[in-house]
Amino acid sequence: MKSLFSRWALPALAAAISFNSAAADYPAKPVTLVIGFTAGGPTDAVGRYLARKLEAELGQTVVVENRAGANGVVAVQSVKRAAADGYTLMLGSSGTLSIEPVYKQKVDYQVLKDFQPVALVASYPYLLVVPSGSSFDTVQELIAGARQKPGTLTFASAGSGAVNHLAGEWFKSASKVDITHVPYKGDSAAIADLVAGRVDMAFLSAIAAMPQVQAGKLRALAIASAQPSPVAPGVPTVAQAAGIPGFTAEPWNGVLAPAGLPPDLTQRLNAAVNKVMGTAESRDALLKLGQFPMTGSADDFAQHIRTQTERWAQVIQDGNIAKAE
């Protein structure tokens, strides 16, 4: 028995000593933060802000690597294969983590099996916008117009399965209106057609929509947050304006690592992200990006992923939305 104990205990003790030493020395080299979207969008904007601030907390360079494609799935596949040593992290999005797994008939990853949630970072509510030349000045007018001419009005999205696609579908089913979905390859193309009046409405992030609203090219009818927001002062919530209790469409981002990240490193990174996101400076900086900082434990983030996944699965079911291949 003593011999058996020795064979198991000594390697385990050596591994523990080695791990504690590695955790104490972390990070000993630059950390890469992978972002699954192109530069300039809301996820990239908050990711680059976070990377700059984390450098001071970690004492190392944090390199942002954009690996865009397939609504963030290209980045997922890349980080999933990386070593679980804390040197490759991902800024995941709600679309990738909570919508793709329930919107697609098959995905090749399981978020809470293949990744270790580290920390929530930020959220940003969508604005319900129409072209400035639209005849609709309120959400109720928009709903009434859609009911008068079923299937005639259109709503733009960043693509099938994007958060603003499902937000539009939720709005349709809850309002009992027939509005035709027009998917684009990203928000930029959608905005161009929306400004030109070729589509009738869209749910867009504030960072994308507000410059157009301020320039008089779009009109914000409502904001898809739980409460009125300083992002769009004086604009009612969709829940209030449309009479849809609980309607919120607030994409969010959070930091994840490959599954198997040691608990001490998870805690170290969680504390660093929370410290960055918990400052008044971050709140003010993110407000300019139309976003709000989020904080919480790694377990809080894991639970957020679960509840958001369940919520969007219900939206898909209630709206009879066909799943993608």
Task: Please report the pLDDT score of residue 22 as a whole number.
Answer: 56
Which residues lie below 8 Å from residue 281, measured CB to CB, with a gap of 6+? Answer: none
Beta strands in 25-77 (DSSP E): 31-35, 62-66
Please indicate, yes or no, whether residues 263 and 157 belong to a single structural domain of this protein: no
Residue 25 lies in a domain: no
CB atoms within 10 A of CB 274: 18
What is the DSSP-derived secondary structure letter of residue 202? Answer: E
Task: Please tell me whether residues 209 and 312 are part of one structural domain.
Answer: no
Name which of 36, 21, 28 is nearest 87 in CA terms: 28
pLDDT at 16: 47
- Residue 274 resides in a domain: yes
Q: Please check whether residue 7 lies inside any domain of the structure.
A: no
Q: What is the pLDDT of residues 19-39, one digit of tens each?
A: 455 567 899 999 999 999 888
Q: Which residue has the tokens 């867009």?
A: 204
Residues 117 and 135 in one domain: no
* pTM (two decimals): 0.85
- For position 159, which CATH number holds? 3.40.190.10
SS3 per residue for 118-134: EEEEEECCEEEEEECCC
- Expressed as residue numbers, the domain containing 266 is 31-124+251-319
User: Do 271 and 136 reside in the same domain of the chain?
Assistant: no
Sheet holding 115-123, edge to edge: 62-66, 31-35, 88-93, 252-258, 115-123, 292-293
pLDDT value of position 104: 87
Residue 5 placed within a domain: no
Domain co-membership, 163 together with 176: yes
CATH code where residue 93 lies:
3.40.190.150
CA angle 194, 199, 202 (to 5 degrees): 65
Extract the residue ranges of the chain whose pLDDT is less than 50.
1-8, 12, 15-16, 18-19
**In this structure, are 44 and 119 located in the same domain?**
yes
Total number of domains constituting the chain: 2
